Amino acid sequence: MFSYDFSQGNKDMRDLLGGKGANLAEMTNLGLPVPPGFTITTKACQVYLETGKEPPGLTDEVTAHLATIERARGKTLGDPADPLLVSVRSGAKFSMPGMMDTVLNIGLTDDSVHGLAAQANDERFAWDSYRRLLQMFGKTVLGIDGERFESALEDAKQARNAEHDVDLDAEDLRDLVAAYKRIVQEETGKEFPQDPREQLDAAIRAVFESWNAPRAVTYRRQERIPGDLGTAVNVVAMVFGNLGAGSGTGVAFTRDPASGARGIYGDYLSNAQGEDVVAGIRNTVPLTELARLDQTSYHQLLDIMATLEGHYRDLCDIEFTIERGKLWMLQTRVGKRTAAAAFRIATQLVDEGLIDEDEALRRVDGHQLAQLMFPRFDDRGRRRRISRGMNASPGAAVGRAVFDNATAVEWARSGESVILVRRETNPDDLEGMIAARGILTSRGGKTSHAAVVARGMGKTCVCGAEELDVDTVGRRFTGPGGVEVHEGDVISIDGTSGEVFLGEVPVVDSPVVRYFEGDLDPRAADADELVRAVDRIMRLADARRRLDVRANADSPADATRARSMGAHGIGLCRTEHMFLGERRTHVERLILAEGDEEREKALAALLPPQRDDFIGIFAAMDGMPVTVRLLDPPLHEFLPDLTELSVRVAVARERGEVDPDDVRLLRAVRRLHEENPMLGLRGVRLGLLVPGLFTMQVRAIAEAAVARIEAGGDPRVEVMIPLVGAVQELELIRDEARAAIDDVQERAGVALSIPVGTMIELPRAALTAGRIARAAEFFSFGTNDLTQTAWGFSRDDVEGAFFSAYLEKGIFGVSPFESLDAEGVGRLVRIACEEGRAARPDLKVGVCGEHGGDPASVHFFHEVGLDYVSCSPFRVPVARVEAGRAAVLASADAGDESR
Ligand code: PEP
Ligand code: MG
């Protein structure tokens, strides 16, 4: 069977019937007034796309379904006296807005147009319906450039001096039909088909084929929708909202999709068809107006909305049409909503007894929570909106407009907040983007260079604000209504909504962040409903999750912040900042040291300040694990820049004032210079080649632990070795670390328990994890380096250089540095986890790459069975909520299987 009458399907048949068809069937079976119709399955589409032919039997099935519709409506398709008309619409399993096609009014012909006019008692309506059919059929089914129809329509309007389509009368539209038919004849060499069934079959084929339209293919690649699913096709009896004042069309939501508040939300347009609402030819009225216009239909609609919400147990959105006083439901689906509404609705539905708590957790996600955590513009602030573009990277940014890289960098250096405004950005703009508070472009979509790089940097970005004319040479842009913004003028951009404002709009902290930071009490009588909802969901997530959540933090302030965000420890404390600032001179001395004594002196100077840093961090995380990673970056990162130093020495030579220290330093910088520092002398390799370096760090760690114990604290320290590729590297450093720890505890007379483990961030480490686990007490996946080395992508270069092109070409749907590439890098993680645990069953395994805070990646890590994820403090709540969701989703799946 390749097709289902609406009475034969249900909402759980999305795979076969697509989202729209499944929901139409569900509404039909609920007894709601859905026009009769049927759905041709995605399977039929797959067969058609594979073989180029309709599957066997489909034609007969369509004939039988059509007969059912004809009986129900008491009309025959295309009957000259009283035609049944049908619509043919695509409807895939996953919504692909605007990607595929629709044809309305099938069944109209030169004859039946008169029948329609007589039945409707409206000539104009009949000719307008026919010209709409010709236009949609011509474009979608016959592949004629839509512009040809548009320009014929424009000509008709001009001839009439008419501003809108609605100003054309029946005669104009009849002429337009004739013109459209000529276009069809010219373009295809054939008449527009006058056989209604031929129209129907051709439209069905066209919808099948639209699955493989180039824009649909690209969209799917980007959205990771499998290309072989196919689309279902819905054939539905037409009902008309444009049959006079007693007719109309509207959309409705069962609650406010912006705030989640209960009430009546929607818009209604009298005497119009659905597409007129979209075209915005006339203004809609609020749905409550319908109570005045047609009380019976209004109350019926409210009843239906209550039924749907109770049935779907969620916010539904609805499209409906009233044809001469009779209400028809054309579509429903679980409605899209803002992040704030998602949290509020989920908890409201629990309180209303419609869903349980686990379901509430499934219905929100970490992306939504992240959105709620960005600072935002104060609703009460005065604002003058000048444009709207794409909401490419969320947040609220205010600054002076600058139009080039150099100015962005220069002004930012002098303490100005700047917004970099470009037509589009390219890799040369990287520095300016880093310096700017926000980025605004007039071209490009969500995968443009600006959007990709800004998201990667967590920087606010609005892109593709096409109304703005950006003149980088003149250093200004102009907007609608002649607004001009010159270099230095203040603008505000909202990366969450895509809006651009003139002047400064005040920014406020998100109440959700203030809640996490302990500034807002969700139990207070006047607590914001959103804060309460977030608090409830967070408690639920914490109760359900199996994964622990730690933070990446390397200062006491970050550690404190991480704790308030709910982190249970530090999964990665990088130690590189402990080698910066004034301490750089000690690093220089270490590198320049000639002989053990000089080197030991330099190391000894580095130890105390590090120990103090550790004491602060351990105190802030008292009682929770802190994984300290030994030094990772190559030492030359702590030395002066090669070019700068070469110039300094050359100039000094000219003047005959050479500083011998500079000359030695220059020699060292040259010696340590690397073409590919990311693949050079860093991580464990440094520890092996710079004698005493790691021992000094371990001593500082152990002494800090002793100090904390002596002060009555409870330090839970772990030492982590970076960039290990072979077990032998780890064994050497581990022995050195153990010796240092033993020495400190003996001297202090305090027992220390400090596990030594390793990062797994090279493919070789992942593939030899079984051996490595014998020498490591824990693993932590460094998925940043693991992604870099598995793909051969230089982390610092590729996102700015070519990722936007890769995304546009659909090579991946999201940067693998942002969301773990489960197929490739994830496979390495899985292998290492399994083989590591096989060798050492109590091996603790976590992840500390950026992916630890990415929703999809958190689910992957849950599924692989890691013990914890670690991410930046700000993303800890996102990881908590997603870890909770991963657990309840997994248990729901398991439940499905056992049923
Ligand atoms: C990693 O590689 O994933 C990691 C956490 O280390 P870093 O980013 O410091 O190289
Ligand atoms: Mg790393």
Same domain for 140 and 173: yes
Give the CB-side neighbour count of residue 498, counting CA atoms within 13 A: 15
Residue 768 CA to ligand 1 center (angstroms) comes to: 19
Instruction: Looking at the structure, tell me whether residues 144 and 42 fall in a common domain.
Output: no
pLDDT at 322: 97
Residue 302 in this model has a pLDDT that exceeds 90: yes
Ligand 1 atom nearest residue 782's Cα? 3
What is the residue-averaged pLDDT of the chain? Answer: 93
Is 266:286 a contact under the CB 8 Å cutoff?
Answer: yes
**Which ligand 1 atom is at minimum distance from the Cα of 574?**
9
576 shares a domain with 488: no
Quick: pLDDT tens for 814-823: 899 999 999 9
Higher pLDDT residue, 731 or 258?
Answer: 731
Whole-angstrom CA distances from 492 to 372, 381, 419, 437, 807 are 19, 12, 8, 10, 28
pLDDT confidence of residue 294: 95
Instruction: Verify that 415 and 279 share a domain, yes or no.
Output: no
Q: For ligand 1, is residue 849 a contact (CB within 6 Å)?
A: yes
Residue 28, pLDDT > 70, answer yes
Cβ–ligand 1 distance for 795 under 6 Å, the answer no
Establish if 538 belongs to a structural domain.
no
Q: Do 83 and 134 share a structural domain?
A: no
Last residue of a domain, one of 278, 308, 334: 334
Residue minimizing CA distance to atom 1 of ligand 1: 782
Q: Tell whether 608 is covered by a domain.
A: yes
**Three-state secondary structure call for residue 859:** helix
Element (H, E) at 386: strand 384-388
pLDDT of residue 897: 44
Residue 782, judged by CB atoms within 10 A of its CB (0-12, 13-18, 19+), counts as: buried
CA–CA–CA angle 568, 572, 577 (5° rounding): 125
Please give the pLDDT value at position 499: 95
- pLDDT tops 90 at residue 186: yes
Q: How many CB atoms lie within 10 A of CB 646?
A: 14
The ligand minimizing its distance to the Cα of 554 is 1
- Whether 583 is in the pocket of ligand 1, judged by its Cβ within 6 Å, is no
CB of 783 sitting under 6 A from ligand 1: yes
Please state the domain count of the chain. Answer: 5
Which ligand is the nearest neighbour of the Cα of 817? 1
Distance 467 CA to ligand 2 centre (A): 43
Q: How much is the pLDDT for 898?
A: 42
Least confident of 115-124, 343-352, 385-394, 441-450: 441-450
Closest residue by Cα to atom 8, ligand 1, is 784
Examine the domain organization and report whether 305 and 386 are in the same domain. no
Same structural domain, 836 and 709: yes
The CATH number of the domain where 17 resides is what?
A: 3.30.1490.20
Q: Has residue 358 been placed in a domain?
A: no
What CATH number should be reported for the domain holding residue 440?
A: 3.50.30.10
Nearest ligand (C-alpha, residue 847)? 1
Percent of the residues in the chain that have a pLDDT greater than 70, as a whole number? 98
- Note down the domain range covering 316: 248-334
Residue whose entry in the numeric block shows the structure tokens 């604002």:
383
Residue positions annotated with a catalytic role: 449, 848
Supply 827's token pair.
Answer: 């496979």
Q: Write out pLDDT tens, residues 111-158.
A: 999 999 999 999 999 999 999 999 999 999 999 999 999 999 999 999
Domain presence at residue 354: no
Q: Would you place residue 402 in the very low, low, confident or very high pLDDT band (cuts 50, 70, 90)?
A: very high
Whether residue 671 is contained in a domain is answered as no
CATH number for position 876? 3.20.20.60
Q: What is the mean pLDDT of residues 493-500?
A: 93
Residue range 266-293: average pLDDT? 81
Judgement on whether residues 705 and 558 belong to the same structural domain of the protein: yes
pLDDT at 70 over 80: yes
Residue 562 CA to ligand 2 centre (angstroms) = 21
Task: Tell me which ligand sits closest to the C-alpha of residue 631.
Answer: 1
Q: How many helices (H) and strands (E) does the chain have?
A: 36, 33
Q: With respect to residue 286, please indicate whether it lies within any of the assigned structural domains.
A: yes
Is position 460 within any domain? yes
The tokens of 313 are what? Answer: 């147990």
Q: How far is the CA of 846 from the centre of ligand 1 (A)?
A: 13
Give DSSP secondary structure letters for 587-642: HHHHHH--SHHHHHHHHHHHHHHHHHHHHHHHHHTTTSEEEEEPP-S-GGGGSPPH
Q: Do 62 and 186 reside in the same domain of the chain?
A: no
User: CB of 487 closer than 6 A to ligand 1?
Assistant: no
Residue at a domain's end among 194, 223, 257 = 194
If DSSP states are collapsed to H, E and C, what string results for 739-777?
A: HHHHHHHHHHCCCCCCCEEEEECCHHHHHCHHHHHHHCC
Polymer length in residues for the chain: 899
Tell which of 308, 334, 360 closes a domain.
334
Query: Per residue in 217-229, pLDDT tens?
Result: 877 876 778 888 9
- Interval between CA 258 and ligand 2 midpoint (Å): 41
Say yes or no: 776 and 819 in one domain: yes
* Residue ID of nearest Cα to ligand 1 atom 10: 785
Q: Between these two residues, 100 and 839, which has the higher pLDDT value?
A: 839
Q: Are residues 707 and 821 in the same domain?
A: yes
Indicate whether 224 and 322 sit together in one domain.
Answer: no
Span 303-357, pLDDT tens digits: 999 999 999 999 999 999 999 999 999 999 998 888 999 999 999 999 999 999 9
**348: in domain:** no
Any atom of ligand 1 within 6 Å of the Cβ of 848: yes
Distance 740 CA to ligand 1 centre (A): 25
- The answer on pLDDT for 899 being more than 50 is no
- Evaluate whether 870 touches 552 at the Cβ level (below 8 Å): yes
